[in-house]
Structure 1
Amino acid sequence: MQVVVVPEADGAGRVRVLPDGPGPSVLPDPPGLPDAAGAPGAAGAVGAPEKVDDLAAWMAATEAAHAPRWVLPAADALYPDLLEAGVRLSRCHDLYLTEGILLAFAGLPGRPRNLAAAWARLHGLPEPDDPPPASRTEQPALFEADREPLPAGADPLDAAVAVYADQQRRIALVPQPDRLRLLVAAESAGALAAAEMRHHGLPWRADVHVELLTSLLGPRPSPGARPRVLAGLAEEITAAFGLVGAPESRQVNPDNPASVVRAFARAGIDVPSSRAHVLREVEHPAVEPLLRYKELQRLWVANGWSWLDTWVHGGRFRPEYVVGGVVSGRWATRGGAALQLPRALRTAVRADPGWRLVVADAAQLEPRVLGALSGDRAFAEVSAATDLYTTLAAEAFEGNRDHAKRAMLSAMYGGTAGGAGPLLARLRKRFPLAVDYVEQAARAGEEGRMVRSRLGRTSPPPSEAWRALAGSADPATERRSREAARNWGRFTRNFVVQASASDWALTVLATLRRRLANTDAQLVFFQHDEVLVHCPAATADRVAAEVTASAAEASRLVFGDTPVRFPLQAATVDCYADAK
C-alpha cells in the first residue's frame, strides 16, 4: 500500500492512497506487517484524494493498520513534527532525495530537487530553486506549509502523485532498476533514521564534558579571553622565540599564521605555513608548544563551552543530519560538527542508567568494497580476516602491514608519492582484477565520463571549464590539461569505492532500523561506517546480534552472493570512548 501525503497548515493535510505497484524498495517489508496491508480499509478509497484535519493522528492510525509506504515531498520537512506527535513511520519514499539521485544519474546534479521543480520539469516550465533548509532550532507550528510553492494552477497533491509516477518510470528504464530501487529505499529510510536520531539525541554528559575542558584548558575564561592553559602556551611560544618583553607588534600570536611564519623567519627558518604537518618537520623549541596550542585551541573553538551551551540540552546532543550531503552519499550535518567529534570528547557520550551503548564499526570497509565490486577472488580470500591489512601483508608484502596499507590506499586514491608506486605495482600483480577496477574508473574520469556506485549513485560530470582545458590543443596548456585529467581521474577512482561503501553502510542502517522497530532500542548516531544504538541493558545482546545480522543482510542486498566478508564489530559499553 502506498499513500501520498502533502502537509498543510495547522496540522492538516491531504492524502491519496495509491494501488500497489513496483515500489521503490527491494528491502523486506517491516516485521508484523498486517495481511491487509494492500487494502485501503480505514485509510480511505484507493485513488481518492482526501482532506485530513489531523494529519498526525490519521497517519498514526494508518501506520498501525497498514504500515504503508508513505510518499513524502521531503521527509526532513514533515517527519520531525510527526515524531514530536508520537508518530513513527516504518518506511517512505522521499521525493526530494529520489529526485536528486535520478538527476545525478542523468548527469544533471545541479538541478533543483524540490517537488515544485520536479513538477515544473514534467511540464516544461521554469524550475524554482530549492528552498533554504528549514531551521529546527525552534519548534514550529505543526507542519510548515508552502515551503515549496508550486507554479500557478498546480495542485500539490496531484503534483506529488505525478512526480512519484515519473520517478518510478525513470527508475524502471535504467539497466539495473532493482539496484536503483534499493538505493532509493535506503536513502529514504536514511531520511527517517536521521530525523529519529535527532529526536532521540545522542546521550551526552555535560558535566563530563566540562570536567574534560577544565582539565585540559583551565577554568572557563571570560568572553574574549584565552583559557588559562592556552594563555600559558602563548607565553611559552613567545619565550621560545626570545621575544619576551618585545613590542607587541613583534610578539607571536599563535592564532595568526602570518605571525608564526614571521617569527620563524626572524629565527632564520623559512616555513611556507604554520600548519601542523609543516611544523613537525622543523627543529625549534617553539614547535612543541605550538603544536600543543593548535590541538587545544581547536578543541576550545570547535567543542568548548560555547558549543556545549548551544548544542547539548537535557542530556542530549541533537545534530541535524543531512542525508546524502556529500556527492558520494555520505552524510553531513548542519551545525554542531557531529561527524568531526574529537576522540577525547567520546568520554562524554554515556548511556543513561540502566541502558547501554552498542557501538558498531565496520573494519576496513572500503578495501572490502573494492574486492566485492571487482570480483577478484584472490582478494576476497584476504577479506576473510578481521584485519584485512595484516592478511594482505602476509600475502603480498612479506608481512609488512604498513606497506600493504599504503599500496591499498594508493590503489583507491591514486597516490604514488613516497614510494607508493612500487607497492601499487606489487598489489596489481597479485590482485589484477581489484586494481584494474579502480584504474578503469580513473580512466573514465580522465576522459570526462561519469562513474557509478554499486547501486547507481553517480559522480558529477566535470565542469565546462575542465572540458575546455582538457580539450585544448594549445601546447602551452598541455601540462595543465594532463594535470586536470589526472586529478579528475583520482576523484572518479575513489568515487566508485567510497560511494559503494556508502551504499552498503546506508543499507545496513536501513535494515538495522527495520530490525529494531519493535524494540525500545534507539539509533542515536551514524557516520560513514559506524553506528551507535542506545538501548536498555537487558536488550543489548539482542541489539548486537541484530547489528551483525544487518551487516550480513546488507552485504547480500548490495553485492549479492559475494565471498567478501564485511565484519561489523559491535561493542556493548557504557561510554563511547570504551568502544575503541
Structure 2
Amino acid sequence: MTRVSLSRLPGDRVLVVDGDATREVAAADLPAYVGAREVDAPRWVWDDTARWYPSLLAAGVRVGRCHDLRLGHHLLRRAPAVEGRLLDGEQSEHWDRLGPSGPSDPALFSIDDTAEHLRADLEDARQLSAVAASTEAARLRLLLAAESSGALAAAEMTYAGVPWRVDVHERLLTDLLGPRPPRGARPRGLEALVAEVRGAFGVPGLNPDSRPELLEALRRAGLDVADTRASSLRGLEHPGIAALLRYKQLAHLFQTNGWAWIDEWVSGGRFRPSYQPAGSSTGRWSSNGGGALSIPVQVRPAAVADDGWRLVVADVAQLEPRVLAGMSGDRALARSARGADLYQGMVEDGAVANRKAAKLGLLGAMYGATSGESGRLVTGLTRRYPEAFALVEEAARAGERGQGVRTLLGRGSPRLGDTWDPDDPPADPDSQARRRRAHGRFTRNFVVQGTGAEWALCWIADLRNRLWRLGGSGPLVSRPHLVFFLHDEVVVHTPAALADEVAAQAAEAAASAAALLFRDLTVDFPLNVSIVRSYADAGKPGATRPPVPDT
C-alpha cells in the first residue's frame, strides 16, 4: 500500500511525500488534493489525526486509512518488543513531547515553531524500521493500524455529532431544576433544596458546595463522617440527608450537563464531543471535552435520531472476561463464554454454584482480590481455569517486581519506576511493599483491559468501513455512521431502512475482531443490540434485540 506523508510548512503550505515524489501544496488546496488521491486508497501519514482530518471532513473528504505518527511514536516508545533507539533521530525529541490536540487548539496552520513543522516522512521511516526490526512486527502493525483507524473514527464522530434535541434537553433541565438562571446563580430548584438542607441542619448560611462547611455541619449534627461523597452520605440517618443527596445529584447535572454545556457542546442539532484516543495508558480512550465518554441518564432522552433515522446501540456483554479467555488460550473459559452470558455459562459448566459467585470470582482474579469471599472463589476457579488465572497472576507478579507487562498486540505498561518521583522515592520498606503490591494490581488488570481496548479498536475500525460501504455514494452523514463510542459500546445513526443491516454488520464486525486477535481459539463476543429513536430507550424491553448470530 502506498504511503503519502503530509508535513506542515511555513506560509500555510504542506509538504507531500508520495513514494519517491515530493511536492508542495497550498493548505487551501489540500482537501482537493487528498480527495483526488484518495481514489487509490493510500495510507495517509501525518503527525496527529485530530489536527489534519477535521478540515478535510469539513470540506467533504473522507479518508479510508491513515497512520497517526503521534499515537504510533508514543506506543512504540513503550512497546517491550521495540528497540527504542531506532526511534531516535532528527526531531525525535519533539515527537517525544508531542501531545494530543484539543477542541480549543488553534487553526491547523497557525503556529510557526519547530514542533509545528515536524517532518512526517522522517518519523514514518523510523517507525517502520522499528516495527520491522521487532520480534512482534505483525502484531504491532495490526495495533498501529487499529490505533490510527480509531483516530479517524474519533474525528468523524466529533464531526457528525450525536443527534441532539436542545428543546428536549432544556425541558428536562427546567422540569428538574427550574427556569434557566442568570450566569453565576443557582437554578430555583437548587435554591429550594439549599434552603431545605440549611433548615434540616440548622445552619442558615451553609454552602453545600463547600466540603469543609458541609463536613462541619454534618459533624455538628452528630454524624460520624469522614467525607461528603454521596456513597458515604447514603448510610447516614438524619432528616436532611435525603435533601442533601438530591441537591448533590442535581447540582452535578447543572454543572456538567446544564445550559452552559448545551451552549458549548451542542451546535446544529448535534452534540459534538471531543475524544482522545489512547488517552489512558491501557489504550482506552478518554475525553478532551464535552464528557465524550458519558451521556448521563437524565439527559439521554435528548439524544434523538433524525426523522426517518434510527440509533443502533450495540454493546458487547462481559468484554474483559471474554478477552481474558482469548488471550490466555483457556479453552474451558472460552467454552463458558459461548452465548450471551459468560457468568451463567460458568455455572452451567459446573465451575461455580451461581452467577453471583462466577462474577465475583472472575472479577476478583482480574482486579486482585485476595481476601473474603472473592479471594476464596479465586482459589477454586484457578483450578478450573488455570491458563486464564495464571496469565493475570503472572502479570501481577511482574508488576510487583517492577517490570512492565504488555497487551496481546504489544502495548507496554508503565513500569513501577515511572510512577515514583525520583527525588522522593518511598522511604521505608513497608511503603515500598505497598507500592509494589498496588502496581501489581495495576499490571494484573492492564493486560486484560488493554487487550480489551485493542479488541474494541479492531471492532470499530471494521464497523466504520462496513458502514461506509452500506451507504451508497453520498457523504459521511448521509450514510450510516458512528456517532458515539464508550469502551464496549457503539452508537450508529442510520436511515431507518438500514437499521437491521447495521445491527447485523455490528455483530459481524465483532466476530471479525475476535477472529483477528484470537486466531487459535474461538471466543464469542455476542452483542446486545437496540434499534431506537432515543438513546434513552436503548436496553429497554421492546428495544433490545437478542444478539445477532455469527455468520
TM-score with structure 2 length normalisation? 0.89
The one-letter code matched in structure 1 to 2:261 is W
Deviation at 1:469, TM superposition (A): 11
- Aligned match of 2:180: 220
Shift of 1:254: 1.8
Residues 417, 282 of structure 1: CA spacing in aligned structure 2 closer, same or farther, 3 A cutoff?
farther
Give the letter aligned to residue 309 of structure 1: D
Which is worse superposed, 512-521 or 502-511?
A: 512-521
Are the aligned partners of 2:80 and 2:410 in contact in 1 as well (CA < 8 Å)?
no
1:399 is displaced (CA, Å) by 4.1
- SS of the counterpart of 2:529? strand
Aligned residues of 2:351 and 2:384 also touching (Cα < 8 A): no
Paired residue for 2:480?
521
Q: Deviations over 1:424-472 (max 9, x none)?
A: 2222232222111101000000001111111111101122674989998
Asked if 1 retains the 8 angstrom alpha-carbon contact of 2:284 and 2:453, the reply is yes
Equivalent in 172, 189, 192 of residue 232 of structure 1: 192
Question: In 2, are the aligned partners of 1:397 and 1:403 still within 8 Å (CA)?
Answer: no
What is the Cα deviation at residue 10 of structure 1? 7.0
From 113, 134, 138, the counterpart of 1:174: 134
1:299 corresponds in structure 2 to: 253
State which drifts further: 51-60 or 90-99: 51-60
* Separation in structure 2 between the aligned mates of residue 167 and residue 230 of structure 1, nearest angstrom: 54
Alignment correspondent of 2:476: none
Q: Which moved more, 1:391-400 or 1:193-202?
A: 391-400
Preserved CA contact (<8 Å) 1:470 1:481: no
User: 1:510 & 1:464 partners in 2: Cα distance?
Assistant: 31
Structure 2: gaps of 5 or more residues: 472-478, 540-551
Question: What are the superposed Cα offsets for residues 41-79 of structure 1, whole Å, 9 maximum, x if unpaired?
Answer: xxxxxx021223422111111112x11111122221111
- Pick one of 49, 68, 72 that aligns with 2:22: 49
Structure 2 match to 1:366: 320
The one-letter code sitting in structure 1 at the alignment partner of 2:505 is E
Other structure's SS at 1:93 match: strand
Give the 3-state SS of the residue equivalent to 1:378 in structure 2.
helix
Which of 143, 167, 170 aligns to 1:183? It is 143
- Contact residue 346 and residue 575 of structure 1 kept, 8 A: yes
What are the residue-to-residue correspondences of 1:23-38 with 2, within 5 Å? none
Secondary structure of 1:274 counterpart: coil
Post-superposition CA distance 1:172-195 (Å, at most 9, x none): 222221111011001111111111
Would the alpha carbon gap of residues 356 and 333 (structure 1) be closer, same or farther in structure 2, given more than 3 Å must change?
same
User: 1:192 and 1:480 mapped to 2: Cα distance?
Assistant: 43
Partner of 1:561: 520
Percent of paired sites with the same residue: 45
| Cα pair 1:351 1:575 within 8 Å, conserved | yes
User: What is the one-letter code of the residue matched to 2:3?
Assistant: Q
For 1:304 and 1:471, how far apart are their aligned partners in 2?
43
Distance, in Å, in 1 between the alignment partners of 2:349 and 2:255 is 45
In structure 2, the residue matched to 1:122 is 89
Moved more, 530-539 or 418-427: 418-427
> CA 1:132–1:470 in structure 2 vs 1: closer, same or farther (change >3 Å)?
closer
CA contact under 8 A between 1:384 and 1:565: conserved in structure 2?
Answer: yes
CA-based RMSD: 2.8
In 1, the alpha carbon distance for the partners of 2:503 and 2:254 equals 35
Equivalent residue of 1:61, what SS? helix
Cα distance between partner residues in 2 of 1:71 and 1:126: 19
SS in 1 for 2:145: helix
Q: How does 1:306-325 map to 2 (within 5 A)?
A: 306-325=260-279
- Give the Cα separation in 1 of the matches to 2:112 and 2:521: 44
2:256 is paired with a residue of what secondary structure? Answer: helix
- Deviation, structure 1 residue 235: 2.2
Tell me how far 1:131 sits from its aligned partner.
5.4
Q: Any residues of structure 2 matched to 1:496-575 within 5 Å, and which?
A: 496-518=447-469, 519=471, 520-575=479-534
- Select which of 60, 65, 70 maps to 1:86: 60
- Once the two structures are TM-superposed, the CA of residue 252 in structure 1 deviates from its matched residue by 3.3
Give the structure 2 partner of residue 388 of structure 1.
342
Q: Deviation of residue 258 (structure 1)?
A: 1.9
Does the Cα contact within 8 Å between 1:75 and 1:192 map onto a contact in 2?
yes
Residues 1:488 and 2:439 are matched in the alignment: yes
1:70 partnered with 2:29: no
Q: In structure 1, what is the equivalent of residue 36 of structure 2?
A: 61
Which residues of structure 1 form unaligned runs of 5+? 19-46, 112-116
The offset of 1:387, in angstroms, is: 1.5
Equivalenced residues, count: 528
Partners in 1 of 2:388 and 2:69 — Cα distance?
35
On the 8 A contact 1:230/1:296 being kept in 2, the answer is yes
Contact 1:321 1:332 in 2 (8 A): yes
- Report Cα offsets for 1:280-324 as digits up to 9, x if no partner: 222222222222211111111111111111111110011111111
Deviation of 1:550 after TM superposition, in Å, equals 0.6
- Distance verdict in 2 for CA 1:501–1:385, change over 3 Å: same
**Residue 86 of structure 1 aligns to which amino acid in structure 2?**
G
Distance between the aligned counterparts of 1:469 and 1:414, measured in 2? Answer: 30
Deviation of the 1:386 alpha carbon: 0.6
Change in CA separation of 1:236 and 1:188 when aligned onto 2, cut-off 3 Å:
same
How does 1:404-553 map onto structure 2 within 5 Å?
404-416=358-370, 419-463=373-417, 466=420, 477-518=428-469, 519=471, 520-553=479-512
Contact 2:81 2:134 in 1 (8 A): no
Cα distance between partner residues in 1 of 2:468 and 2:254: 38
- Indicate if the aligned counterparts of 1:7 and 1:145 stay in contact, CA closer than 8 A: no
Q: Which residue of 2 is the match for residue 199 of structure 1?
A: 159
Distance 1:418 1:209, change over 3 A: farther
Range with greater deviation from structure 2 (530-539 or 261-270): 261-270
Q: Is the 8 A contact 1:320 1:335 kept in 2?
A: yes
Q: 2:237 aligns with which of 256, 279, 283?
A: 283
Residue 129 of structure 1, CA deviation: 6.6
SS in 1 for 2:531: strand
TM-score (normalised: structure 1): 0.85
- Closer, same or farther: CA 132–99 of 1 in aligned 2, 3 Å: closer
